[in-house]
Each structure stands twice: as C-alpha cells, then as structure tokens.
Amino acid sequence: MAELIELKVPDIGDFEAVEIIEVLVAVGDSIDENQEVITVESDKAMMEIPASQAGVIKEMKVAVGDKVSEGTVIAMLEVAEGASSAKEEAKAEEKTEKPVATAPAENTQPKPETKVEASPAVNTPPAEAIPYAPDNKSGIRRAHASPSVRRFARDLGVVLTSVSGTGPKGRVTKEDVQSYVKQVMTAPAAAPAQSGSAIPSVPVVNFEQFGDVETQEMSRIKKISGKHLHACWLNIPHVTQFDEADITELDAFRKENKDMAAKKGVNLTPLVFIMKAVVACLKQFPEFNASLSEDKESLILKNYYNLGVAVDTPNGLMVPVIKDVDKKGFLELAGELGDISARAREGSLTAKDLQGGTFSISSLGGIGGQFFTPIVNAPEVAILGVSRHQMKPVWNGKEFVPRLMLPLSVSYDHRVIDGAAGARFTVMLSQMLSDIRKVLL
C-alpha cells in the first residue's frame, strides 16, 4: 500500500517568504531522498530545497514566483507504506553507531585518485560565483547541483561553474563532473602564448592584392632584439618622465677640451658627460640601478655601475655595456665608448660585451627629434632616452636668453619605481648636466 504525505519546506534559517525561482520536479516524477525539488532565492543567497523522503510526486502545491517559508507545503508525495518507519529505524541505528566513530565520515573516506594537483586546469579558485544577467540583485549565479555533487566536486577540486550540466534544466550531475575531470586530464598542454597574455594576434593580410610587394628577411639581430623588446614591453608597466637639461656650459666646456682629447686619440662627445651624470644620480637613487628577483618579491640592488649604450648598426640596434663607469674618467670613457661603438658597427662584439648592464642609455641626438619613450631593457628597471639638443629662449627672471637645451626621457618599471622617485631622478639628472661640476661632489 502507498501513503500520501506532504512534502514541506524544512528549516531554512532566518529566511522567510523567499521566492521560488525554479521548480525541478513535476507531477509523476519519481524522486530520491535528498533530491532537490525547488530552488529559492532571497536578496542574499540562493539554495535548493531537497525532498525529505523518496517517492512519487502526485500534486505540486507551488510554482515559480511563489514565496515560501519553513513549513510551506511544496507537493503531495506518494511513498511506500512503511517507508517512514524504516527511515526512523535507520536514523536510530545511525545514532547508536555514531559514537564509535572518531572523525566525521566525510573525512574518513579516501580521496579520489584524480586529485586536483594532477592538472593546473582543474586547480582553479574555489569560488563558484560568476557574473551573469545584470537584472539579478546579487549579480551572481551558482551552478545547479545537488549537495552530494557539490561535495564530490570539492573533493576533486573542481569549480562547478566550469562544468556544463547535462541534467534537467542544465543541472550538473556526478557524471558531468567525472567527464570534466577526464577531459582536463587527457587534454594536451596548451602551447605558450606568443603574442602576450590575452592579446589577439594581428590579422594576416595578403598585401599583393593591393600592389607589388617585396619580402625582405629581418636581420638576426633584429629578430633577437625584437623578441626581447616585445617581452619587456608586455611584462613591464612602463612610465616615462620627460624633462630638459640646460647644457650650455657643459657644451662649452666640451668644446674647449675637444682638441686636447683628439690629440690623445679620443672623441669627447656629450654622451660621455651624460654617462657620468647618470652614475651620480644612480648613487642617489639605488632602486634605478637594481633588478627584481625572480619571484618579484625582492629588489636586487647592485653596487656596480655598468651602462649599456644603444648603438645604431647596419644590422640593427645593439646595446654594448661599458663596465665600471664610476671608476673611469671622462677621457678614458670617451676612448672606450669609441672603441666599443666601432666594434658594434663592425659586428665584432663578443657576448661579454653585451652582458652585465645595470642601466641603459639610448641617444638619438645625432639623428634628431625631441622626446620619445624608450623601452626598459629587462632585467634592468630604467633607461634614459636622449634626443637632439637645440637652442631655445629661456626666461631667466628678467629676460629671455638663448640656452642649449637637451631633451631627456626616462622610462622606468613602475613596480619598482614610483612616480615621485622618477621625477626626482630626472630633475637631479637635469641639474647634474646643467652644472657638470656637481658630478664631482
């Protein structure tokens, strides 16, 4: 014989008059104990209401949009005669055996072999909330799944919102979770992105359809430096600080000593003075002469000053490094700079000539232009760009006077150097170049 009972809303805490947003069963359905029958939602949360017993739905008492509270009748459920008593006996037996256990049953069960550590793809954050339709007050939704499926997914480290449900109305079943894990475990490892994280590639265009074209292979240097510059630009948050330095007196001093330097076989260029001024500033701002540690948690401060100097060669840009700039005089630096620049253009630099830099200088003064944004040469954290100097009228407080002004562009890694430090470094560099005697202090 069968017995007809009322299926009611159990204790749902402090929630009252919560709205039904989904009815998961229909008249005639056979349901299991603890199977969800309706889903309700308040302003704060959403939950599924399970059946207290197994049986067959004979009549539905609620519909989507109705509001329910504890004790509200959901449906009339036909259960087998004696099912209630059998259920009570099972509960009594469970209570009798329960004190013997030393830990909750959930903790004593062995974990499945397909633990989350086996695949990075499964090892996603545990949160199950994802954005969806903006007309919802909470702005999130949860994957539809029973408590047992949710527990099963947690054991495997699977976020249910990543799993496509095949059950009624998109509900996630245990088989869906198993299929998802199997798919992740057997999927080939994704190839590393070549164009940067989440950056779409440039579309390929057949330029021949617009006219005559010619293909020219890039030089080996451009291929190598191009990849490095691309990585630097993608991985370093760049900021560039601009300023001008009054080098009127510096250039006059350089010209006065140019012939003397030439007799010693060296060319006394403005870049030599810029290098010495840069080192003086690096000593005052050691974070500019540093590198980030591999884990990005520490700053490696360097107590040596090796400046990379960008050289324009027929095969592309090269950055040879001049070591220990702080320990060398102007004439010695001028000779070394001329030698290493010549070898760069000849293509006779060694690997040692290109290593160990702590700060770089890119000078475009011989070409022209004003300000630009040089790319930081990682693992360095800053770079100076120098443009062509030009005579400008400068107000001295009483009148405009002609002054030789040098444009400066300092790019830096904003993770290491904040804006205030970037501005102070650039201002100090400008002051050093305006009066080169300060380098000796």
306: DSSP letter:
-
Residue 438 CB neighbours (<10 A): 13
Q: Which amino acid is at 63?
A: A
> How many Å separate Cα 32 from the centre of its chain?
46
By the 10 Å C-beta count (0-12 exposed, 13-18 middle, 19+ buried), 380 is classed as: buried
Residues with Cβ within 8 Å of residue 219, at least 6 apart in sequence: 315, 316
- Lowest mean per-residue pLDDT among 119-133, 235-249, 309-323, 420-434: 119-133
In this prediction, residues 41-46 reach a mean pLDDT of 65
Q: What is the pLDDT of residue 108?
A: 42
Indicate the range of 85-99, 228-242, 251-265 predicted with least confidence: 85-99
Tokens linked to 315: 């095969």
Q: How many CB atoms sit inside 10 A of residue 383's CB?
A: 27
Rounded to an integer, what distance in angstroms lies between the CA atom of residue 360 and that of residue 362?
7
Tell me the C-alpha distance between 16 and 71, whole Å. Answer: 11
Q: Strands across the sheet with 55-60, in order?
A: 2-8, 73-80, 55-60, 30-31
pTM for the whole thing? 0.57
pLDDT at 259: 95
What pLDDT does 36 receive? 83
Any idea what DSSP says for residue 376? P
The pLDDT, as a whole number, for residue 110 is 46
**List of domains in the chain:** 2-100 (2.40.50.100), 109-186 (4.10.320.10), 221-440 (3.30.559.10)
CB within 8 Å of 321: residues ≥ 6 apart: 306, 307, 308, 309, 353, 354, 355, 356, 357
For residues 261 and 280, give the distance between their C-alpha atoms in angstroms, rounded to a whole number: 23
The residue ranking higher by pLDDT, 116 or 376, is: 376
Q: Summarize the confidence of residues 312-337 as an average pLDDT.
A: 93
pLDDT in tens, 256-311: 999 999 999 999 999 999 999 999 999 999 999 999 999 999 999 999 999 999 99
Strand pairing category for 316-318 and 299-301: unpaired
The span from the CA of 147 to the CA of 34, in Å, is 9
Q: What angle do CA 122, 124, 128 make, to 5 degrees?
A: 110
Average pLDDT over every residue of 26-31 = 91
Q: What is the DSSP string of 9-34?
A: ----TT--SEEEEEE---TT-EE-TT
Rounded mean pLDDT of the chain?
83
The residues annotated with a catalytic role in the active site are: 414
CA angle 428, 432, 436 (to 5 degrees): 175
Q: State residue 235's pLDDT score.
A: 93
Spacing of C-alpha 201 from chain mean position: 18
**Tokens (6 digits) for 8:** 């009611």
Query: Is-contact 340 322, C-beta < 8 A?
Result: yes
- SS3 for 105? helix
Q: What angle do CA 65, 68, 71 make, to 5 degrees?
A: 155
Tens digit of each residue's pLDDT (9 = 90 or more) over 306-323: 999 999 888 888 999 999
Q: Is the pLDDT of residue 166 over 80?
A: yes
- What b-and-e string marks burial along 133-168, b requiring 16 or more CB atoms within 10 Å of the CB? eeeeeeeebbbbbbeebbebbebbbbbbbbbebebe
pLDDT at 206 over 60: yes
Spatial contact of 49 and 31, defined as CB atoms under 8 Å apart: no
Q: Which among 246, 215, 296 has a CA at the least distance from the CA of 408?
A: 246
- Please tell me the least confidently modeled range out of 154-163, 232-241, 307-316, 427-436: 154-163
